[in-house]
Structure 1
């Protein structure tokens, strides 16, 4: 599947300036600047402890900023509550699958749709009224290849299909920006290929920011890569550019084949 052209000169849909997060005297994120182009797949990579997940928490407002500014599609969200960030169009998935294990695939997507359509605040509505969301839920299941598993309880799905279901529930919130936290973690090679293809498929009309340790996936999927180390940006650019950076080689990727 060919990737759409990315307008790198366009105003970033997600931008961060001087982000700092301190835990006591330790700075987990230390002066990070980040620009994510609209329509791009942008990767955050770095060794364990580099601050990637903490940065995700800052961007989605699950962590309080110690310093800095975040804008989403022109809105200053530096002090915005997480639920409002979702309403503004940025949704995060987590390393650990966040689906309801004892609901079916269809019911999981329908729960996510309930929030977007306001049904989560309309407790007086009969359960039967939720059936109106079934067609949209099925469309989302089809988008991630799970239409034939609509009535399967989530706990019984394979790991790769659980991740696909989580992407479907994320899509149900109609995000402009999807933040994927290690979407390939713990997957067999076959599932990695399926989910990678799925990310390429669902990125149409959206922006994806992802933390990922699988550098093969990063090389295949991502338009731009930001490397973090010890809470700071070490390098940024295309994958080949970052891979060739001697500072990155030393700190993260390792010595080249010629060394």
Structure 2
């Protein structure tokens, strides 16, 4: 498989603190690739570097062979690299359909303009409903986001990200804070959306990583410790020590 997303010797310092140190990462097209590691390992910082929400202190980022190190997050999103966030980024006072419609408007080159006539905004409704149907939320299209469960909010975030038609989708802890009953729904949703795109995910739930991911990269204290299949990572003594020391069991 070809390399769709690559980091070469990427580092990021905040003041005197080196959060990510000389990390090399290669993500293969069509794969589900996990970034794991103890708290404070630099996973979310690396996500920010890959999607250009953070500038690199050193090193380079490549998307489909193009150097995007100097690009901004909006530019890389339009090139097909989009992300979700740990903290919910939806509009609670809007309906589910309206939230997806905002993302669709952005893809078509306009921001959400509340003063536009409803008939103008309704031209996005069919596409919004198709996306909601894909993530299992079509029956709730007219509900306010503030009225649905946390698990459904996370599914909605995936729908709004899919509205940008990403080729590479980065999910930052998609299972975090979720009730146990909602986890299988999100796991199956990720598996479904990964059928026609590459997915990179930061995730602490290792059973989810085991069931979903083709390849796993382990970060510890900002450095790449190991990479391989889940079984290879699970059996790596250095990884086991890093997790046991942090209160985890691989």
Is the 1:243–1:253 contact (alpha carbons within 8 Å) kept by the matching residues of 2? no
Correspondence 1:159 to 2:150: yes
Q: Which runs of 5+ in 2 are unaligned?
A: none
Aligned residue in 1 for 2:76: 85
Residue of structure 2 in register with 1:198 after alignment: 189
Equivalent position of 1:36 in the other structure: 27
Kept after mapping to 2: 8 A contact 1:146/1:165: yes
Cα distance in 1 for partners of 2:90, 2:33 equals: 24
1:9-20 to structure 2, matched below 5 A, reads 10-20=1-11
How far did 1:123 drift?
Answer: 8.9
Q: Is the 8 A contact 2:102 2:112 kept in 1?
A: no
Correspondence for 1:119 = 110
Shift of 1:24: 1.9
Structural mapping, 1:1-259, within 5 Å: 10-120=1-111, 126-252=117-243
Q: Could you list the per-position Cα deviations for residues 85-139 of structure 1 after superposition, in whole angstroms to 9, with x for gaps in the alignment? A: 1111111100111111000000000110001112328899644212111111100
Q: How many residues align?
A: 246
Kept after mapping to 2: 8 A contact 1:11/1:37: yes
Contact 2:4 2:28 in 1 (8 A): yes
Residues 62-86 of structure 1 show CA distances to partners (whole Å, capped at 9, x for unaligned) of 1111000100112111110111011
CA RMSD of aligned residues (A): 1.6
1:121–1:98 distance in 2 versus 1, CA, 3 Å = closer
Q: Equivalent residue of 1:133, what SS?
A: helix
Tell me by how many angstroms 1:216 deviates: 0.3
SS, match of residue 76 in structure 2: helix
Report SS of the residue matched to 1:213: coil
Tell me if the contact between 1:61 and 1:82 (Cα under 8 Å) persists in the aligned partners.
Answer: yes
Q: Helix, strand or coil: the match of 2:121?
A: helix
Shift in CA distance, 122/188, structure 1 to aligned 2, threshold 3 Å: closer
Partner SS, residue 63 of structure 1? coil
Does the aligned pair in 2 maintain the 1:61–1:78 contact within 8 Å?
yes
State TM-score, norm by structure 2: 0.95
CA contact (8 A) 1:105 1:165 kept: yes
Contact 1:60 1:91 in 2 (8 A): yes
Unaligned stretches of 5+ in structure 1? 1-9
